[in-house]
Chains A and B, each alone.
Chain A
């Protein structure tokens, strides 16, 4: 591998990322499955990086999942997005920052459509005015939340309490970085590093002391795919795409997977469980599976945030062995306690995927 070749490509794909005053819109999937990650993102931006972020309660789903399942037509979703832009305009902010990668892909797609077909944008203005009385402007800057963390990765590294290394051996952790398809595969110029060798997560891992591993199925989709997941009958297709990736990454012995898409991270977590129960096969060490972390969680760990406050106990593939490997100080007894330290019992253990020590 000639890393210089990759660096040249990364240099060619740079994008403008605003440096403050962000209008934040949440992700349906991230909120529901890893809400702690969204909390962590806001915490990092406000407390660590001292940035100005507006968390609007009035915005709604972008309806992207429904759009990709063809249940919501393009004109409707464009109008819903127009409403979000209108809310942003009213808030006085101009830099749009979505938490979801599918949303990011969607906003990029919509902005590109309006750029090439201004009459379509006019229609959306009309629709929105008719439905809600609102007016919108397109954002000055559109960046995904992972782009923001990427932009400030060095600042985070400077304040880091931990590095992405194996405490016992001192060696960098081996990390699989997975980028959501909607981040750059449709508009490579809108993703840091382009579509073939994306850099947004690799940059974070490198700055925080880890080592990114390249494996043959690195570019492969995780399989979420909306349509093939939505009905139970089609879900095997979704699962098989993730399985292909796990089989491909296994020989490289990754210590964890980092992803920027809410769906991908969720699926790497849950499909390992499903595969273990269906086929008895586990990936990673000692039957625990390969932990699938969000980039917010990785940033938070590196900064020394408490893993349970970040919601890392909500993963089906346990993160405890990784925390031990990194030498993170945490209280294992607090893992399944409530907000007031009340005892909430603990989840049942899966049959084949090792969940408890």
Chain B
């Protein structure tokens, strides 16, 4: 999905547990630090903020219209990265429809 990350990223990902603490990250850990695990109660507060402020409604709207568009395009809406519709939107460059030349 992100080929520009380069081979160094693959190495970092493969060796995360050993390399991230070396640079001071608290990878998936409790307490403060880079790349820590966010405590569940904070995630819950965030979720409630999204509910109260219209963020969740907006997400649902996006999902609904995406499903409609997927149907129009004859693509499976699916879920997550395996969604046919997502793969199409993510990968297809249709600039010939948008530029002057």
Contacts and interface: CB of A to CB of B under 8 A. Distances in A.
Partners in one complex: yes
Interface of A: 26, 30-32, 35-36, 38-40, 43, 55-60, 71-73, 75-76, 78-80, 83, 127-128, 130-132, 231-236, 239, 270-271, 273-274, 308-311, 313-316, 336, 338-340, 342, 344-350, 355
Interface in B46-65: 46, 48-55, 58-59, 62
Q: Indicate the size class of the contact surface on chain B.
A: 35 or more
A239 B3 CA distance: 13
Nearest to B88: A233
Given A38-B34, A73-B54, A342-B18, A60 B5 contact: no
B58 A350 contact: no
Contact of B34 (A35, A59, A235, A271): A35
B101 interface: no
Given A311-B24, A314-B19, 10 more contacts: A38-B24, A73-B54, A83-B49, A132-B48, A231-B90, A270-B4, A308-B23, A344-B15, A344-B19, A347-B8
Nearest to A344: B15
A57 to B, nearest CB: 4
Contacts of B32: 55-57
- Determine chain B's interface SS by DSSP, over half rule: helix
A315 B12 CA distance: 10
A31 B49 contact: no
Given A73-B53, A128-B49, A347 B92 contact: no
Contacts of B89: 231, 233
Nearest to B1: A232
Given A72-B55, A338-B18, A314 B35 contact: no
Contacts of A76: 49-50, 53-55, 58
Interface of B: 1, 3-12, 15, 18-25, 30-36, 38-39, 42-43, 45-46, 48-55, 58-59, 62, 89-94
B11 to A, nearest CB: 4
A347 B11 contact: yes
A127 B4 contact: no
A233 B87 CA distance: 10
25 contacts: A31-B25, A35-B23, A36-B24, A57-B32, A60-B38, A73-B58, A76-B54, A79-B52, A83-B49, A131-B48, A131-B49, A231-B89, A233-B89, A273-B4, A273-B6, A274-B4, A308-B23, A309-B22, A309-B24, A316-B8, A339-B22, A347-B6, A347-B11, A348-B7, A348-B11
Contacts of B30: 57
